[in-house]
């Protein structure tokens, strides 16, 4: 019986560790996503103000982006277009 209780406690500790790991991973991913979106927003605003050039239909490309990699690619494209 004591062995079963001990194994149960170990199992619970391991599950808590896994839960904490994925929670931290998710938070980090969300923070990175927010930073990338903020960077795009800043570049887009600069483009609207005439400070830099934007590619054709940047908002459409942003809206169609299915993942953060595509947004990063759009940011790189804007930076390359302007030599940033």
Tokens of 3: 């062995």
Question: Is 90 exceeded by the pLDDT of residue 1?
Answer: no
CA angle 67, 70, 72 (to 5 degrees): 110
The rounded mean pLDDT for the chain is 91
Residue 32 has pLDDT above 90, yes or no: yes
> Would you list the domain boundaries of the chain?
2-82
- pLDDT band (50, 70, 90) for residue 58: confident
| Residues 6 or more apart whose Cβ sits within 8 Å of residue 62 | 40, 44, 71, 74
> What percent of the chain is modeled with pLDDT above 90?
57
């Amino acid at each position: 019986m004591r062995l079963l209780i001990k194994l149960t406690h170990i199992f619970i500790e391991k599950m808590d560790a896994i839960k904490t790991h994925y929670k931290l991973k998710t938070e980090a991913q969300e923070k990175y996503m927010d930073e990338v979106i903020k960077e795009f927003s800043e570049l887009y605003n600069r483009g609207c103000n005439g400070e830099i050039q934007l590619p054709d239909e940047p908002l459409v490309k942003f809206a169609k982006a299915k993942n953060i990699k595509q947004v990063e690619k759009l940011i790189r494209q804007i930076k390359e277009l302007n030599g940033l």
